[in-house]
Amino acid sequence: MTDLDAWLEDYKPYISSTKVCGRADLIAEHQRLDRALLEAQSASADMLASTEVAEAKRAVRDIEAEIEASQREFTFQGIGNKPWQDLKRAHPPSEAQRREGLDTDIEAFAPALIAAASLDPKVSPAQAQKMMDRFPPGEFGKLYESALEANGQVAGPPKSVTAALIEAFRQNGGSSTSAAPEESPDLSSWDDNDDLSTGTSPTKKDGS
């Protein structure tokens, strides 16, 4: 066995994960309890000593714990190029979908990919189809996007911006005025309304 053979044998695919809430019915109740907490806080002359505030806060924390406990984490891994291409060929688009620029029948391909890429828990095709039927689009979309991510990533050596900042800080004698690396944005210049996930340019808080 050559070094390349050994490297290929040791190859591990990209892994991604996401969580799905199993008690989405509690979200509205959480919002109601959170409003009740705000009202109790507003009506109290001494927020820290108020029994009403303490009870409302406890109710909010209890339902948050219940919602958190209902979440299930799903982990996906890359299935490899040939299985990926075979899966796409097995679910070709309709003529209408092809005219829209799609290269698969998305309603059939999405649950099939979730099943094929699932790692923990292992999801059967029937279970993936049930998820698509029962989950709201946003929740099912999280699973599909995570399965896509596991199969669409080009894995290069990651670089930590935080580690680079710490190293630069130490190299400059621990001065808090040291310049940050170019790849690190000055997060203090972002306005709270800016959406970091969309890559929109920052709005300076001082208006500059």
Interval 5-10 mean pLDDT: 93
Contact 190, 196 (CB under 8 A): yes
The two structure tokens encoding residue 158: 């990651």
Please determine, for residue 141, whether its predicted confidence score (pLDDT) is greater than 50.
yes
Tens digit of each residue's pLDDT (9 = 90 or more) over 173-185: 765 544 444 444 4
Give 32-58 pLDDT, tens digit per residue: 999 999 999 888 877 666 888 899 999
**Per-residue DSSP letter, 175:** -
